[in-house]
Amino acid sequence: MKELLLNILNEYLKIFPKEIERQQELIKFLNNHKEEQITDWNNFDGHVVAGGFVYAKDEQKFLVLHHKDLNIFLYPGGHIDKDDRNPLDASIREINEETGLKNIIEFTISNNELVPIDIDTHLIDYNRRLDLPEHYHFEFRYLYVIDKIENINVDSNESSEYRWISVEELKQDENFGKIADKFDLLNLKNIRKKDLVLLKKSI
């Protein structure tokens, strides 16, 4: 997994070369930790996780879930399991578990479908319910498209409700600033079929 993540990051930085400074913490983390530590939930230096923004094309809205522990609205995502072959697989699995959505299509920015739309480093606060110390998440964030808004079956263990919000609403949330700017540049209102890859993995 470590070598795979380094290769994905290298391809990502070819697309977004101006992000080299933004990715320094991730580069340092990957270089200074062993293979088994990279995705270990109990590594409180941090660990690599995966998530995904789900975009309903007809209504031009994004799905967010209210996270019970963090008390904020977030996109679906979570830890990488041992059975996940790569962060894309983990992202798809997490979306299915947290929303029930199955017919999602990836918006790709590379010939390599494993390259995410964004890679973000953020600090996770102390979790009082689980008594987990604060730590960093190095998140590989993918973008998925569905035709129209669907009802969501939220995982009640993690989320209390969901909403569909616009890019403009995303911009107002400090957690989504960088990714909202990218969505503007991608001109999602005019998505072309050649930019979409039907996911080969059945869920």
CB 129 within 8 A of CB 146: no
What CA–CA distance (Å, rounded) separates 160 from 67? 7
Q: What is the pTM of this model?
A: 0.88
**How do strand 47-56 and strand 77-79 relate by DSSP bridges?**
antiparallel
pLDDT in tens, 110-158: 889 999 999 999 887 766 666 667 888 999 999 999 989 988 887 777 7
Rg (CA), the chain: 16
| CATH superfamily, region 2-198 | Nucleoside Triphosphate Pyrophosphohydrolase (3.90.79.10)
Residue 16 tokens, joined: 């977004």
The residue ranges of every structural domain in the chain are: 2-198
pLDDT in tens, 39-72: 988 888 889 999 999 999 889 999 999 887 778 8
